[in-house]
Amino acid sequence: MLLSHTDTVVADAAEWQVDPWSGELRDDEIWGRGALDMKGQVAASAVALATLAREGFEPAGDLVFTAVADEEVGEGFGLPWLCAEHPDAVRTDYALNEGAGERIELLGRPFYLCSSAEKMSSPFQLRVHGRAGHASMPGIADNALVKAVPLIEKLAGYRPELQLGPETSALVEAIAGRPLEAAEALELAREVDPSAAELLEPLLSLTLSPTMISASERRNVIPHLCEVVVDCRLLPGQAQAEVEPLLREVLGEGDYDFEWIEGRGGTRSTIESPLWDAVASFVAETEPDAALLPVSVAGFTDSHWLREAFGTVAYGFFPMRAMDPQLAARLIHSADERIAVDDLELAVRCFRHAAVEVTGSR
């Protein structure tokens, strides 16, 4: 399956140099909301399969083009609905989706990243309890907002244990040339390139970012309740049940309730597969010195629905070498999103290659 989503996040035209809905071609780049996330991949996937069909290519198995809605919001109208209501239409052994594909250079060698695992989006809420009162007499109340502060500081100061999973071990070994411990690997990444360390660090542990807080709705009322929402991402395979006692220990005793808001994603696929080999051989053909590296991504994509429903081996790969990956990362969900035409062409070649390699012979 070549999987993609057609919905995008909103765009505020006032922030853009061009009309965000124009798809304008300027300096060999196509500008517009969704160019990178991910109408570029929708288009490249469609062109790859359409050209193969026109040439009379007959796959040994099914080749499925799937472009879904509702990935960005996730209210159950997109791929989860298809998996539940039309499983026969979307059940495949292998799938290529969004998630990675950037070309990076480390120690003078080019690498292309392919995501084979995703962290779990696992936000939680703290409800900190106090006692309301008039703000002019703080002594009569017990201010829940003030009581939330030390809890937030404990979460912000927490340094979880670093650990390597199968993807991060393979990533580190390919770069360093030998296996390393997680802490050693991070140290080395910092020496080699600070941006490599920024990329690696969230892949070595769960992350915690307190992002939302609400308390009194009136300036002169001391709140009896303060709610803090913490964006939390678990490592692939890590379970909420194993992490919760750790977090409770970090927070310590107190007048609060801890509650998970959701747990989505967190799945992985093996890198021992014909699809991995197909992507790797595309990379080798495109750039003989380059190697393909597995990564787990900090966000999550629709791949997890396929992995959970059918055990599909799903990877995130859209090869990108014309545009600087740091620029691309900044443009996604932001103003002036655009994609290089050369990268679109590269992706068409990649998806054609993968489709032929995986389904060309049984």
Binding residues (CB under 5 A) for Zn ion: these are: 37-38, 98
Minimum CB distance to Zn ion, residue 34 (Å): 9
What is the SS3 assignment for 117? Answer: strand
C-alpha to C-alpha distance for 317 and 112, rounded to whole angstroms = 9
**For residues 223 and 266, which CB has a smaller minimum distance to Zn ion in the complex?**
266
**For residues 106 and 332, which CB has a smaller minimum distance to Zn ion in the complex?**
332
**For residues 33 and 321, which CB has a smaller minimum distance to Zn ion in the complex?**
33
Residue found under tokens 């517009």: 32
Residue found under tokens 């998806």: 351
**Closest chain position to Zn ion (CB):** 37
267, burial (CB in 10 Å: exposed 0-12, middle 13-18, buried 19+): buried
Residue found under tokens 């750039």: 287
Amino acid at 246: L
Ramachandran region, residue 70 (left: φ > 0; alpha: ψ -120 to 50; beta: rest)? left
C-alpha to C-alpha distance for 64 and 331, rounded to whole angstroms = 29
Minimum CB distance to Zn ion, residue 180 (Å): 32
C-alpha to C-alpha distance for 178 and 172, rounded to whole angstroms = 8
75, burial (CB in 10 Å: exposed 0-12, middle 13-18, buried 19+): exposed
Minimum CB distance to Zn ion, residue 296 (Å): 16
Minimum CB distance to Zn ion, residue 35 (Å): 12
Ramachandran region, residue 218 (left: φ > 0; alpha: ψ -120 to 50; beta: rest)? beta
Q: What pairs with residue 142 in β-bridges?
A: 131
Minimum CB distance to Zn ion, residue 351 (Å): 16
**For residues 154 and 333, which CB has a smaller minimum distance to Zn ion in the complex?**
333
**For residues 223 and 316, which CB has a smaller minimum distance to Zn ion in the complex?**
316
Minimum CB distance to Zn ion, residue 118 (Å): 12
Minimum CB distance to Zn ion, residue 113 (Å): 16
Minimal CA–CA distance to 105: which of 280, 293, 285?
293
**For residues 37 and 102, which CB has a smaller minimum distance to Zn ion in the complex?**
37
**For residues 98 and 336, which CB has a smaller minimum distance to Zn ion in the complex?**
98
